[in-house]
Amino acid sequence: MPHAHRSTSTTSRGSLRRYAQKRDFAQTPEPKGQKLPRGRALRFVVQKHRASHLHYDFRLEADGVLKSWAVPKGPTLDPKERRLAMQVEDHPLDYRDFEGVIPKGNYGAGQVIVWDRGTYKLAEGTNPAAEIGRGKIKVILHGKKLGGMFTLVRMRPRDGSENAWLLIKDKDAGAESGWDPERHSESVKTGRTLDDVAESRHAAKWQSNRTAARSGR
C-alpha cells in the first residue's frame, strides 16, 4: 500500500464539503480550509459563538480536520454537569484561529471568539477519528481554561437526534465544582469578549500590553 496516505487526505477533504457548501467565502472572513501540515500534538479549540443562539463550539483535531460539537451551555470543569453537545460539520484545521464577525446573511452570522485552545491527548485508544466513530472519546485537555480529562459520549439516537452527545468532565485534579464558563468570558487569543468583537474594538492595545508583560513565548 505505497499510497495509503492519499486515502486519508481525500477523506479529510471530503469531510469538509459540508463546511464549504454552507459558506460563501466572498462574504465571510472565515477560512476556506487549506490543508495544513500536521504537527505532532493534537490540537483543540473552543470558540464562543453568538449566532441565532449563544453556544460554544468544541473542536478536536482528528484525521486532519476539526471534529466539532456545538455546546449550548458551554464546557465546564464541574464533573456533576453533563453538557449537551450537538455534533456539527467538520471544520478545517485553520479554523482554530478564527475570531471575528461573520456578516449578516451568512451561515452562523454573529461574533466568534477563541474562548480556549491548546493541545490534547487521548486517554483511551490511539486514533481520535476512530474513537469518535465509535461514539465515545476520552481526552486529556491542556488549555488555558480547560484542563484534565473529559469524556464525549454519543447519546442513544432518539427523536431523530443522532448528533446528540454529552460532554462530561471526569473527576481529577482539573475538576472544579460550580465552575461556570460564563465567568470566563474573554478570548484567550486577544482578551476580547463577544461584545468587544461586536463593537469591533481593537485588541492592539491589549496585545501590546500583554507582549510587553511577557518576555517572549
Q: Which residues form the catalytic set?
A: 205
Q: Give the interface with Mn ion as residue ranges (CB under 5 A).
A: 49, 57
Least distance (Å) between residue 57 CB and Mn ion: 4
Cα–Cα distances in angstroms (integers) from residue 31 to residues 85, 99, 112, 200, in the given order:
23, 10, 13, 19
Least distance (Å) between residue 188 CB and Mn ion: 17
Quick one: 18 or 38, whose CB is closer to Mn ion? Answer: 18
CA angle 169–170–173, rounded 5-degree value: 100
Q: Nearest residue by C-beta to Mn ion?
A: 49
Quick one: 57 or 90, whose CB is closer to Mn ion? Answer: 57
Do 16 and 65 meet the contact criterion of CB atoms below 8 Å apart? yes
- What is the DSSP annotation of 55-93? EEEEEEEETTEEEEEEETT---S-TT-EEEEEEEEEEEG
Least distance (Å) between residue 149 CB and Mn ion: 24
Least distance (Å) between residue 128 CB and Mn ion: 20
CA angle 15–124–46, rounded 5-degree value: 50
Cα separation, 27 vs 76, in Å, equals: 33
